[in-house]
Structure 1
Amino acid sequence: MSSEAVLDHLATLGVAFELVECDPDFADTAQFCERYGYSMDASANAICVVGKSAERPMACCVVLATTRLDVNGIVRRRLGTRKASFADASETIERTGMMIGGVTPFGLPDDIPVWIDSRVMDCDAIIVGGGSRDCKILCPPASLAELPTAEVVPDLAKTVPEA
């Protein structure tokens, strides 16, 4: 999927957003935040996860960069499988059309639910992937909640202890 397709989807939704272009070499969250001056507390990762079963159910989980997705707890149970894992790069591209580092909840196929950690909703604005590694989407969290398959999930992620 191209960033143009993501922008088309955003326009169809009619939600508030700003496109932020970036160098693809700095698309990974920590590098992006450092280079472009965004706070990790207001940066969200869109992470594709799959259930380890014949059906391979997938979900896109949106969590703050300062938290860790609870893959083996809440995510696994919500997928309805005995085991779950992060989708690898090839399965992510095959199912979403997006590369890791550019995954966004906007423009996903209808069969992929979007689960948003409730802490994301506490931010004034968040920055998330833009569909490709050369851009990000800056938007209020309410724009994420407008997605037809979106659901806000309490404790989808765990707080990462400070080192």
Structure 2
Amino acid sequence: MSLESVKEHFSKWNRESDVLEFETSSATVDEAAETIGVIPHRIAKTLSFRGENEQAILVVTAGDAKIDNKKFREQFGYKARMLTKDEVLEQTGHAIGGVCPFGLKNELAIYLDLSLKRFETVFPACGSTNSAIKLTIAELAEYSSASEWVDVCKGWEESDIQLVG
């Protein structure tokens, strides 16, 4: 169902046929990078956190970025607590390994981390453990209906990877 809901989501922009489905797993950043043939940094990973009132929030980051707990708390006003596997499925409709900000079961707040802005294009998952789509940063922001850009990650600033197509 998840992959279908994502394709339906992309049909609003006639992009459903751009969803890539693979024979091999793209469930982790490294698997996705190997399957697609790009550096791991360009995989747009979607992380699920417990927000206020038990409503999840999603933060999409570059593949090489890690959540910085201090920055997260400063941005959102509470501690970064990731959802359990069951909570992720319940809140997003997507299983771990296919979580993305598209075709969601519930309307959730979505944030894009600045770590993504180094790239012209990135590859987020599409609701399954063997799917992705190539999007520009502007398309990612538009198609995800992201609330805002945030700075809640660390570990990527040292990278010499800049604006890779």
**Shorter-normalised TM range:** 0.7 to 0.9
Distance apart, 1:158 and its partner CA:
0.7
Distance in 2, Cα, partners of 1:92 & 1:20: 23
Q: Distance in 2 between matches of 1:33 and 1:78?
A: 29
Task: State the partner residue of 2:63.
Answer: 65
Contact 2:124 2:134 in 1 (8 A): yes
Query: Counterpart of 2:71?
Result: 74
Residue 106 (structure 2) pairs with residue 106 (structure 1): no
Question: Any conservation in 2 of the 1:68–1:159 contact (CA below 8 Å)?
Answer: yes
Conservation of the 8 A alpha-carbon contact between 2:32 and 2:40: no
User: Which secondary structure state, in structure 2, belongs to the residue aligned with residue 44 of structure 1?
Assistant: strand
Runs (5+) with no aligned partner, structure 1: none
Which protein is richer in strand relative to its size? 1
Unmatched segments (≥5 aa) in structure 2: 160-165
Contact 1:63 1:117 in 2 (8 A): yes
| 1:69-93, Cα deviation, whole Å (9 max, x unpaired) | 22x2233344433x33111110000
Farther-moved stretch of structure 1 (23-32 vs 122-131): 23-32
Please, what TM-score do these two structures have when normalized by structure 2?
A: 0.81
Superposition pairs of residues 3-152 of structure 1, within 5 angstroms: 3-13=3-13, 18-23=18-23, 25-51=25-51, 55-70=53-68, 72-81=69-78, 83-109=79-105, 111-146=107-142, 147-152=144-149
Quick check: 2:25–2:35 contact (8 Å CA) kept in 1?
Answer: no
Moved more, 121-130 or 86-95: 121-130
* Per-residue deviation, 1:62: 0.6
Deviation sequence 1:79-116 (CA, Å, 0-9, x none): 433x3311111000001110111001112356411110
Q: How many positions carry a matched residue from both structures?
A: 157
Partner Cα separation in structure 2 for residue 35 and residue 15 of structure 1: 21
Q: Distance in 1 between matches of 2:34 and 2:136?
A: 21
Matched AA of 2:116: V
- TM-score between both structures, scaled by the size of structure 1: 0.82
Q: Which runs of 4+ in 1 moved over 6 A?
A: none
Q: Percent identity?
A: 27
Query: How much does 1:7 deviate?
Result: 1.4
- Check whether the contact 1:16–1:139 (CA below 8 A) recurs between aligned residues: no
The 3-state SS of whatever aligns with 2:59 is strand
| CA distance in structure 2 between the partners assigned to 1:84 and 1:40 by the alignment | 23
